Amino acid sequence: MRHVPAFIFALMLALTSLGCHASPDDPAGQAKELHDNARRRNALQNLQTIFSKALGDADGDLNGEPVRKVIDASIDNIVSAYPEAHDRDKEAALGILELLKNMRDPRALDAFLAALDWEQDMTEDHAVAGAKGIERIQVPRDRVPEVVRALEKALKKAPGRPESRIPKDVRIMDATLRALGSLKDSAATSSLVSIMSEPSEDKFDGYFLIRRLAAMQLASNPDPAAVPALIEALFYFDEKNPAIRMEDVAIGTLVSIGRPSLQPLLDLYDGKNQKANQLAEKFGKKVGIDGADYRKRIAVQALGVLGLPEGLRPIFEQAASDDADVRMNAAIALARINATGADEKKQRETLLNIYSKLGTDVSSIMMKGQLLAIFQHTLDPTFLPLFLDEVKNTKQELPVLRIGANSAYAFLANKQESEALRAVIAAEKSNVDGGNKKELEAALPVLDAAKECDENIACWKGKLSDKNALVRRKAAYMLGRLVENDQGVISALVEVLGDSDISVRNAALFALDRVALKGSPEAIAKIDELLQKEQGTVMGKQFATEAVGIAGRLKARQGA
């Protein structure tokens, strides 16, 4: 046999070995190579490239055929490779988690659960990635209890350690709480309630915000079992900074739960909840106010956002108060409720009475301006004469009231009504001569739309796509004024919820609140989609201000 030189033999062996490696564009082969310590990082990089290309070919659609082929061919080996990589190469293991997280496939759950079993100063990033991965997938219902236990365990490992490590703890707390909320299952409710209710005096600065986040997550799965704890949460506050409270989040979650919140809120107002009474008194002493008065104010505020006519009694009582601030709080609550019959008549009379009691000082004028905006959002033409009177009142020291009334009238007026305002604007003095003609003329495009469409529903539906945001806003208001329980109009308004202009979005929300008297699954789904998609953005925060309460009211009506 002929002798083969050693270097030739080595070269042949290397070439043979290279021939056994998977092609760089083979997802199944590259996934298998994740189990090879020497090939793991190269395989991970290749898989990331393969997945990115498939996602691009599918125009970003995770359900597109190119993406599904890559995921189906590789995911089992990617998942099983994570524990091996975790023990030998934690950086590569974290890369595997990030890839699985982006794939958003429920089959990755075992890897995410393994990542939640984190070690201090070593794998906190793994726990965060695992929790975020769980948040992005649909967890099989039969595995939810197991996932809840794993998230709880990960959460309890981060109670707030020495100052230098707190940021890591907070990231894990934030991610695990959001994952619990994403499960949308009653199994997660008790965990979230426990964190929300946990005293934070002995915790690190900022822990109260973690409790607020837990309360926010409860809204993702409206569970009546959480109502008692949420009633108490209305009076939670940060001992180190009483300005940071829980009431806004608790109200939003109570409203998302809907009708089951009604009687507990009425009992709260009537002083029947002893624990809540004590918490309100504690807060009152902390900030120097009467706890009982504060309790009633919060109850009325929550009942208003809930928006059920059965909650009117406490609101009417507060509207008769001698205190202007109490009346103002009641007016805001009252305007949000779709009353009918005698209650509707009393509602409008009460709102007008509250307005008439305000004086002419600067503080009262600012309150009047706020009330005008509130009246506008009722979409009720009852208030048009008041709006027009304020536009005509040239003796106002502050023009802001006239300008606000001008806008409110323009957005709610039909063709005939709009002519009265057009005449006032035409007679207004120029800005050079001390008038506010320029500011009032801003309403002219809105009045032109009223002249064109008057009370024609089809015309206003068409205007929802007008290039002028003021006209789109006007169209939403008019549909809210003119229509009740029309599915075609509801669907048209739902489309506007994604408008790029927040004022148009809000107009659509106010209109849906008035049109969808029996609730609207379509509107609720769209609101939930936008709240999730735009979470953390400026637009998302602005939209949530009105959207959370209105979505809650729509849900409550479905259970009526």
Say how far apart CA 245 and CA 234 lie, in whole Å. 8
Residue 306 near residue 295, CB atoms below 8 Å = no
Strands (E), 311-426: none
For residue 10, the one-letter residue type is A
pLDDT at 496: 96
Model confidence at 318, pLDDT cuts 50, 70, 90, reads very high
Both tokens of residue 64?
């597109």
Structure-block tokens of residue 182: 């994403």
CA atoms within 13 A on the CB side of 205: 4
For residue 258, pLDDT beyond 70: yes
User: Are the CB atoms for 545 and 252 separated by under 8 Å?
Assistant: no
pLDDT digits (tens, 9 = 90+) for 283-310: 999 999 999 999 999 999 999 999 899 9
pLDDT recorded at residue 141:
93
Non-local CB neighbours of 90 within 8 Å, separated by 6+ positions? 122, 123, 126
φ, ψ at 237 (rounded to 5°): -150, 160
**pLDDT reported for residue 13:** 45
How high is the pLDDT of residue 200?
76
Q: Which residues of 128-145 are buried (b: 16+ CB within 10 A; e: fewer)?
A: bbbbbbbbbbebeeeebe
Q: In this predicted structure, what is the pLDDT of residue 15?
A: 45
By the 10 Å C-beta count (0-12 exposed, 13-18 middle, 19+ buried), 498 is classed as middle
**E-assigned strands of 200-263?**
237-238, 241-245
pLDDT tens, 462-488? 999 999 999 999 999 999 999 999 999
d(CA 380, CA 402): 19
The residue ranges of every structural domain in the chain are: 375-453, 455-560
In the beta sheet, which residues pair with residue 238?
241
The pLDDT score that the predictor gives to residue 559 is 58
Are 302 and 556 within 8 A, CB to CB?
Answer: no
Work out the burial of residue 16: count CB atoms within 10 Å of its CB; fewer than 13 is exposed, 13-18 middle, 19 or more buried.
exposed
Domain 455-560 indexed as CATH 1.20.1730.10: no
Q: What is the mean pLDDT of residues 132-145?
A: 95
Q: Cα–Cα distance between 426 and 166 in angstroms, integer?
A: 63
As given in the structure block, the two tokens for residue 147 are: 């996932």
CA 405/CA 416 separation, integer angstroms: 18
Burial of 339 (0-12, 13-18, 19+ CB in 10 A): middle
Encoding tokens for residue 321?
């108060």
Res. 458: pLDDT tops 70: yes
3-state class of 399 per DSSP?
coil
Question: With 0-12 CB in 10 A as exposed, 13-18 as middle and 19+ as buried, what is 199?
Answer: exposed
- What's the full length of the chain, in residues? 560
pTM confidence score: 0.82
* pLDDT higher at 459 or 6: 459
Two structure tokens written together for 133: 């991965």
Q: Which of 2-16, 368-382, 493-507, 543-557 has the lowest mean pLDDT?
A: 2-16
How much is the pLDDT for 160? 61
- Residue found by looking up tokens 């569970």 in the block: 223
pLDDT confidence band for 17 (50 / 70 / 90): very low
Spatial separation of the C-alpha atoms in residues 344 and 356, rounded to whole Å: 18
pLDDT band at 11 (very low <50, low <70, confident <90, very high): very low
Paired tokens of 501:
């202009």
Q: What is the largest CA-CA distance in the chain?
A: 116
